[in-house]
């Protein structure tokens, strides 16, 4: 397939470098990481040295100060690794958690944390989701009460990617209990090891097995007032602002996964024989694969258009929501059919496509469920 029209020569060079790293370092070792339930820290530090963790961050703190296109290229190539848990580990750090610091942190906070974040020495997580508040961010109930020079946090978070092995957490809490909904929410920088902050449980997931996911507990957790990120009671708007980037990179990941699933399946179909011919010679099969390829390509083109719109400073909430809904569903249809085309082998744990089918199932859920995305689109029709 041809590259999207917005793909520049610089982005091609970045893409090729990331793809080489994924091929040489991730794909041969990912199965071991799946068994361990985590991505080794030395791998993330190596990505930091190569500049992959800091493409969107300011140059003065070790970043490259690139735009949304760089995030999309990164997410698509990580998706092609076939290890959704690895992709999630990296993308939460680069595009879902640390951007809060870049956008809303003060000079002191940025100088303290960003260089190590860019280098992969500090791994970040964002703690918004609660047992009673997932896509409904305004419904969160974790409290933060100001006492002197500190805030005291109490509450629980769940489904937190990088929650077990992460170092720095951007935690959403309600600072004004007298207002309802989206008002009265703030974000705090909470370091691992802060008294009163603990990992209450490591979660056992259907897929994304090498991504560590946790429940977090805050019990009279004392956080310095200096760790308030941005304005008090304005955290909801910061969360919503970054959701657009989060949904774009999840879409890139979906496109990468679906593209790789098609490549793997096409190679299999051209070798596997049944009834005196290869499966690729069966018209019904190759036509179904061709339609999937068309849908994946449509999702890719929309993804790069969305990244371009973002870089132009355009309001693209509708397009991002369309993209997230479509790409997640396309990825799931693609891996479902690809597993079917593998027959019994596709159902075996030793099969790459089996793992990919489990990993892809989270895409219509995480970062805003498909149903929520479609409502966002409906509001703007």
* Cα–Cα distance measured from residue 123 to residue 98, given in angstroms and rounded to the nearest whole number: 9
Take residue 41 and report the two structure tokens written for it.
């820290």
13 and 115 part of one domain: yes
Go through 172-186 and write b for each residue having 16 or more CB atoms within 10 A of its CB, e for each that does not: bbbbeeeeeebebbb
Kindly list the catalytic residues. 246
CB atoms within 10 A of CB 53: 27
Q: Are 143 and 134 in contact (CB under 8 A)?
A: no
pLDDT of residue 196: 97
pLDDT mean by block of 10 residues, the chain; 381 residues? 86 96 97 96 97 95 94 98 97 96 96 97 95 72 94 96 96 88 90 96 95 96 96 89 93 98 96 88 94 97 96 95 98 97 94 97 94 96 93
Answer whether residue 265 is part of any domain: yes
74 and 196 part of one domain: no
Q: Are 161 and 88 in contact (CB under 8 A)?
A: yes
Count H helices, E strands: the chain?
12, 10
**The pTM is what?**
0.94
Identify the CATH number of the domain in which residue 103 sits: 1.10.540.10
274 and 336 part of one domain: yes
Answer whether residue 1 is part of any domain: no
pLDDT of residue 274: 84
223 and 304 part of one domain: no
- Residue that terminates a domain, selected from 193, 217, 233: 233
pLDDT of residue 133: 66
Q: Are 142 and 157 in contact (CB under 8 A)?
A: yes
* Cα–Cα distance measured from residue 316 to residue 39, given in angstroms and rounded to the nearest whole number: 33
> If we measure between CA atoms, which residue out of 166, 215, 211, 170 comes closest to residue 193?
166
């Amino acid at each position: 397939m041809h590259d999207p029209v917005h793909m520049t020569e610089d982005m091609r060079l970045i893409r090729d470098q990331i793809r080489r790293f994924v091929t040489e370092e991730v794909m041969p070792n990912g199965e071991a990481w799946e068994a361990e339930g985590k991505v080794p820290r030395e791998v993330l530090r190596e990505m930091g040295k190569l500049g992959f963790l800091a493409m969107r961050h300011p140059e003065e703190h070790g970043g490259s100060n690139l735009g949304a296109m760089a995030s999309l290229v990164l997410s698509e190539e990580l998706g092609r690794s076939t290890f959704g848990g690895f992709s999630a580990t990296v993308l939460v750090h680069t595009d879902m958690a640390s951007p809060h610091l870049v956008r809303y942190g003060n000079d002191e906070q940025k100088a303290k944390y960003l260089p190590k974040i860019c280098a992969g020495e500090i791994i970040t997580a964002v703690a918004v989701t609660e047992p009673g508040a997932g896509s409904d961010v305004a419904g969160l109930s974790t409290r933060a009460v100001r006492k002197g020079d500190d805030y005291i946090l109490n509450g629980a978070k769940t489904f937190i990617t990088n929650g077990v092995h992460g170092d720095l957490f951007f935690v959403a809490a309600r600072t004004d209990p007298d207002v309802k909904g989206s008002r009265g929410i703030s974000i705090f920088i909470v370091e691992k090891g802060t008294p009163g902050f603990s990992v209450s449980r490591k979660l056992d997931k259907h897929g994304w097995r090498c991504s560590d996911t946790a429940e977090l507990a805050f019990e009279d957790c004392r956080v310095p007032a200096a760790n308030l990120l941005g304005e008090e009671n304005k955290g909801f708007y910061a969360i919503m602002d970054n959701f657009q980037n989060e949904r774009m990179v999840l879409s890139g990941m979906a496109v990468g996964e679906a593209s790789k699933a098609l490549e793997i399946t096409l190679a299999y179909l051209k070798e596997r024989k049944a009834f005196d011919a290869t499966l690729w010679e069966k018209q019904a099969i190759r036509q179904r694969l061709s339609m999937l390829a068309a849908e994946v390509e449509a999702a890719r083109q929309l993804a790069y258009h969305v990244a371009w719109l973002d870089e132009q400073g355009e309001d693209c909430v509708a397009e991002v929501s369309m993209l997230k809904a479509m790409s997640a569903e396309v990825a799931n249809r693609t891996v479902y059919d690809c597993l079917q085309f593998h027959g019994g082998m596709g159902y075996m744990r030793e099969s790459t496509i089996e793992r990919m089918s489990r990993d892809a199932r989270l895409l219509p859920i995480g970062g805003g469920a498909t149903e929520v995305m479609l409502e966002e689109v409906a509001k703007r029709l």
